[in-house]
Structure 1
Amino acid sequence: MRRSEITVGELIDLLSARDPGTPVRLAMNPFVPMEHGLEQVVQATDVTGRKVVYLAEGRDADAQLGHLPPEVAILLVWQGPVRAPTRRPRRTAGGQ
């Protein structure tokens, strides 16, 4: 069973609600979340004969921008919110 895929029309609808001057980035790899700059959009035919649009990062070494901000990984449900561990009372020099 194939996962559902977003269509060009759905992507246009989702993007049309955003500021047109905002950069578009790709969030990749839920296990090591990274962000990539988007440079190209191309159309081709996949192995089943369907037309497919590909969003591609650039070839430059700095096309991978770094780690995905944690708040984005949380919004994508790639990781849960992280809470600081509870603090234990400190021991005194006398061992108490």
Structure 2
Amino acid sequence: MDWELQRRVALIDDAIWEAGPKAVAEEIERIRARYDVEVALLNLAAEKDAVLQTRLGIGGNNPPEAIDEASVIEHHITLIWPGWTT
């Protein structure tokens, strides 16, 4: 078990300990569920930060040059499909 999780279990209120094993087991399960969510959230935040730092990849803030759309429009494009006649 993780040290932080053990610490939280050790800090369970005395009234719960005195209520018996079933009450203690329910409290430990509640603590474990909450702890698992907190750990998952921290991991998600770390992954998000890693993705944001590397999201630009190659080129970064230096994107490729713009395409001159006029030169693309000037060229005639022919598509050929089997069985198609003009």
Q: TM-score range by the shorter chain?
A: under 0.3
> Larger helix proportion, structure 1 or 2?
2
TM-score using structure 2 length:
0.25
TM-score of the aligned structures, taking structure 1 as reference length: 0.23
